[in-house]
Structure 1
């Protein structure tokens, strides 16, 4: 429910009311978030979605009476259980966090103290720590479906899997039975099975204990599978708000429609489509609709008139002056191109590949091929051996056996033993675009280092190659003189792709390269990789835990479990008529839009 009157009296039986919230850059009148209003009933889950910079995390953190350094909550009210959190002093706000409202952070690995045992950290969450008993801690473990044992309470965070760490974070948030939970992308980076279990846990706890929740995410498919209602944010404002079924089955705002088509979904035959351009910086927002510069349906009036909030039907609100017209027009989509490429020359042949960590066998006799111009997606849950396989092919995991034949030649297990030509023709793109670039080097220097290793040339020629590589990934030449911290995550990942492409590889190994990106940026990167694959006849290994992404980029898919390939075949065969029980389970756990609309 949207509340538009900032002076209205508190509505009884609501867990949370946010009224005309404003968050600004400190000591300025520049709004990061402007006029955001909504409310939540006990047990209700609201999905807050949008691209990076849309303001969704800022709104979520504001519910705790908190904002990032350099920002200030400059207006509005946040009423939880009848109490305005923003009217409290900083000391009083600290006291209500955990009791009235609590947070489940994005990365449990950094949120948990690495030197404290799990039991100690759980006990610290209770208001009265001195009276916490082991039985109370066991009850918390039971709530989130963790092992109810003294051994688990004595464990340290590094001894737990990512899914277990996230469940501990959930247990800590629910310890004092708060009225409201704020969840900041709590399943990003988790495989689909672990994600499904975590979402089930959150859904069950909210219903059972009547806890209202704000789920901050960029993934509409995940939000649709979990949430009762969805609010779509763009440029610091809510542009569409309604029930999950309303919003996903009949979106009214062009931005919502574009977001939906950027999300890969196994139930759709259309390929993902990125959103051109980017949202304006807070200091450069102008009058009119903020989305107009990126909107295919924008007219002149969209650029001069501020769109009012309209109620379409039954609590479905939208801020778009053309909403009624646009809903009647089907957006243009492209079909997923499925080609087997089995008639092309084999680029890579892997035979009986095994890998070890000490005495433990991690990979167990893998065999598969990749043809020129084709992509094989390697999918499976965390710990199945996907990244180890990729590292073996790149020569980054020395303790291995078996044969890797590339371009008809056997390549050595370790990169240091391979010829310069083999290292040049096999390139690796890492998962994290924030960690794979040297922050002290410009983008141009980072990209140039790759080509300098294999093809010494003049400074002028190197610069030309760098600019050509940036142009190929749709980055302007001016980016060559910027530093990584001046770029967004999607832009950094494009730089990483340019760095790999500049040496003209024949095999590109992509290790979860889209998992840290917004869905709109992810779609752009997938489209880019598809185009580069066609233009350069590249063979590609695409490691991912997201089967829907795999269906958009790969021609073949290999499903891994416990270090073995349990199913391999054409992507349409494996994903539509799976044989292996592991594939069936992964497909079952993958979030889909159709689930939200049942």
Structure 2
């Protein structure tokens, strides 16, 4: 079969650091090829090469053959490629019109409408007027992702590169993403899946390439690789798919943060209604739910980043101002928020180490020398070398930046640390290391309380308590073990069943 795209002996280097070293890739129409490997292994660099995109200042050698203008890209953070000033319907219709120029004028409107409906259906988006009139910021991350997929389909893509498409998604949404990409492959389109999510790779991929340090250490049909990986690094990575989360710390202390009842709004629409919640030192509360359920809105209210809410939030019994700008330096240090989109939270022009160290200088008055020493030590414990730490953010992978964002939050020495999907960009081995670090922090520091905003129920197993959100309401709350093993609310039951289903090991689509 003639490949839809092909890469031969690709080498990419930036500032003397080799990102990709001699990679070969052959993707076939109607098949899903997965690139897997640790954070920084070269997955995204290889995938973007199919679009002719490389990091600034990159030195590139090799042969890349891909259909010009017919490779669609679904980025890890799809909101970054959507025009914030255009409504979704207008975005999609504009693209469809570019494909209708060969038609008589009287036939163009019908063609555009038909193509938009087809793309929305394949991307699993409703073609309701209310959806099409929304702006990108009014959509959840999962909905934004589906809009970008619809754009690629309307452009007539022969190849779709999906970069970590399940990042930040709950088990139900992950299953939906698998269904969408499988449907795209059935249309005869080649899908290149860049992912650390081995459960999704197991369910979807026909062929797998395992990368490490920019090199392909093993490449094989998926069934053969899962059954008997030959390279030690490939075997270790695939075996880590079911790695257990660390045990939660048991000792808890005084209540440090009290919330609500709380009601939050986006415009005139109420998006969150929570009962009273408390968070104690030595405790980890995991807030789980599907995309758009209100998890991040709750976190942003606590962090002072969402002012449009009603309800009382107190820290050590003292009311917290709604706006970040009105909080004292001590309050800013005490409640730290680690963002899901780590890249957007860093200044692209300054070294990561300097930005992490700046936290200790600004919030605690540390000297620059002491702050740099503390920052480097924290980054090292989280798995970033000094060489990486001294680079600018655009020279780090998404997973590396997530660890840097966590280090920055820790340098504030917070009482409450809110982590919003911080393991979503990490491979299973790196995720385990970060969870171990968090568990150790809660255990060693008697005055720290941790809140995990997560779609990943394996990550939620770190918690002492779990709150399940659905449609902006807490439908269940209780000890983590109880919620994970014996959920009571029907939605919680569905969520846990979807989790068990995604770990079953059976492919969710027939192999081509």
Instruction: Give the TM-score band, short-chain normalised.
Output: 0.7 to 0.9
Matching residue of 1:254: 232
* C-alpha distance in 1 between matches for 2:269 and 2:340: 25
SS at match of 1:142: helix
Query: C-alpha deviations, 1:202-254, integer Å up to 9, x for none?
Result: 212422x3444322223222211212332212344432233434433543322
Q: How does 1:115-514 map to 2 (within 5 A)?
A: 115=86, 116-125=90-99, 128=102, 132=108, 133=111, 134-148=113-127, 157=136, 160-175=139-154, 180-207=159-186, 209-260=187-238, 262-263=240-241, 265=242, 270-271=244-245, 336-341=246-251, 344-407=253-316, 409-414=317-322, 415=324, 418=327, 420-443=329-352, 445-456=354-365, 465-466=374-375, 469-470=378-379, 473=382, 483-485=392-394, 487-514=396-423
User: Unaligned stretches of 5+ in structure 2?
Assistant: none
Query: C-alpha deviations, 1:77-113, integer Å up to 9, x for none?
Result: 85xxxxxx5xxxxxxx53xx43xx6554544434445
* C-alpha distance in 2 between matches for 1:503 and 1:554: 22
Structure with the greater alpha carbon radius of gyration: 1
* C-alpha distance in 2 between matches for 1:171 and 1:108: 12
SS at match of 1:596: coil
Matching residue of 1:324: none
SS at match of 1:427: strand
Task: Specify whether residues 503 and 204 from structure 1 end up closer, same or farther in structure 2 by C-alpha distance, changes over 3 A only.
Answer: closer
Query: C-alpha deviations, 1:461-516, integer Å up to 9, x for none?
Result: 55665555556656567777665455554444444333333343222111222334
* C-alpha distance in 1 between matches for 2:210 and 2:11: 17
* C-alpha distance in 2 between matches for 1:482 and 1:59: 21
Matching residue of 1:49: 36
User: Unaligned stretches of 5+ in structure 1?
Assistant: 1-12, 79-84, 86-92, 272-335
Task: Specify whether residues 54 and 129 from structure 1 end up closer, same or farther in structure 2 by C-alpha distance, changes over 3 A only.
Answer: farther
* C-alpha distance in 2 between matches for 1:23 and 1:476: 23
Alignment equivalent of 1:109, drawn from 76, 79, 88 = 79
**How far apart are residue 139 of structure 1 and its match?**
3.3
* C-alpha distance in 2 between matches for 1:471 and 1:178: 42
* C-alpha distance in 1 between matches for 2:359 and 2:506: 45
Q: Which has the higher contact order (CA 8 A, sep 6+)?
A: 2
State how many pairs are aligned.
493
Query: C-alpha deviations, 1:299-325, integer Å up to 9, x for none?
Result: xxxxxxxxxxxxxxxxxxxxxxxxxxx
8 Å contact from structure 1 (residues 428, 509) kept in 2: yes
* C-alpha distance in 2 between matches for 1:396 and 1:182: 33
* C-alpha distance in 2 between matches for 1:554 and 1:435: 27
Matched, 1:545 2:478: no
SS at match of 2:247: coil
Give the alignment's TM-score, normalised by structure 1. 0.70
Give the alignment's TM-score, normalised by structure 2. 0.80
**How far apart are residue 534 of structure 1 and its match?**
1.7
Matched, 1:34 2:22: yes
8 Å contact from structure 1 (residues 428, 500) kept in 2: yes
